[in-house]
Amino acid sequence: MIFEGDRKLICSITPVNISIEMADSDDIDSKIRDLKDSWERRGKPPKCPKCPKCGETMTYMYSEGKVTMGCPHCGNVLREGSLAEFDQMSFGKKIGRYFLHGIAFALIGILLLFAWLVVGIALILLGSFIGLILAFLLLVFMVGAINTFVSSHVWGFSMKTSLGSIFLHGLVLSLIFLVVSLSTIFPAYLLIHNVIYTVLLDIGLCFVNGFIGEKVAQLWTE
């Protein structure tokens, strides 16, 4: 149960569906809706275990950005964490989504790259060195925005969308991509001259980018 002013929200989750009840006629809190929608997009919400103290079915409750797994009968709290931390999908089931994440990120990035090149060249022509810095900052922000969008749709994450959060998101992700590329991917491309191996490397790169993108996105979930 979550008490918020004169409202009492009861959020219970079963292996089959998610139900939300309200003690009055107010609109459902947006964060509760985000929690419900996020787990529904995962396809299967996490199971509610039995309370180790009293044996009652435990429930998942959302409050102030944290998900709590607790017992409504005796008040025992078994686990607390962010929404992303409660993702119980096995690694095997995640493999397909890692590929999807990497492919979606690459396709959107390619489409937006042309727009960035036009804007970047214009900024450099207008402001020289300052324009170059602005173009770089825009690229970092674009990386964060793309991963925020892809993560919210592929993984169902409720992402932070403030300008500062998106920029920091993009900065961290860009630095990790740069380190991984310089240490492994670029040398591999230089050594591989076979078309088939190059295609296999590109496929593997989609998985790697999806894996990194998902892990970084968890740092900016609400």
Q: What whole-number percentage of the chain has pLDDT above 90?
A: 25
72-123 pLDDT, tens digit per residue, is: 777 777 666 665 555 556 667 788 889 999 999 999 999 998 888 888 888 8
Residue 200 in this model has a pLDDT that exceeds 60: yes
Nearest to 62 by CA among 88, 14, 90, 28: 28
- The residues near 149 (Cβ < 8 Å, ≥ 6 apart) are 108
Predicted local confidence at residue 90, as pLDDT: 62
Q: What is the pLDDT of residues 142-183, one digit of tens each?
A: 999 999 999 988 887 778 899 999 999 999 999 999 898 888
pLDDT digits (tens, 9 = 90+) for 116-130: 888 888 888 887 788
Sign of CA dihedral 86, 152, 136, 102: positive
H or E element at residue 22: strand 18-22
What amino acid is encoded at 193 in this protein? H
**199 beta partners:** none
Exposed / middle / buried, residue 157 (Cβ in 10 Å: 0-12, 13-18, 19+): buried
Owner of token pair 């004169």? 6
Which sequence spans correspond to the domains of the chain?
2-86, 91-220
pTM over 0.75: no
Task: Output the average pLDDT for the chain.
Answer: 75
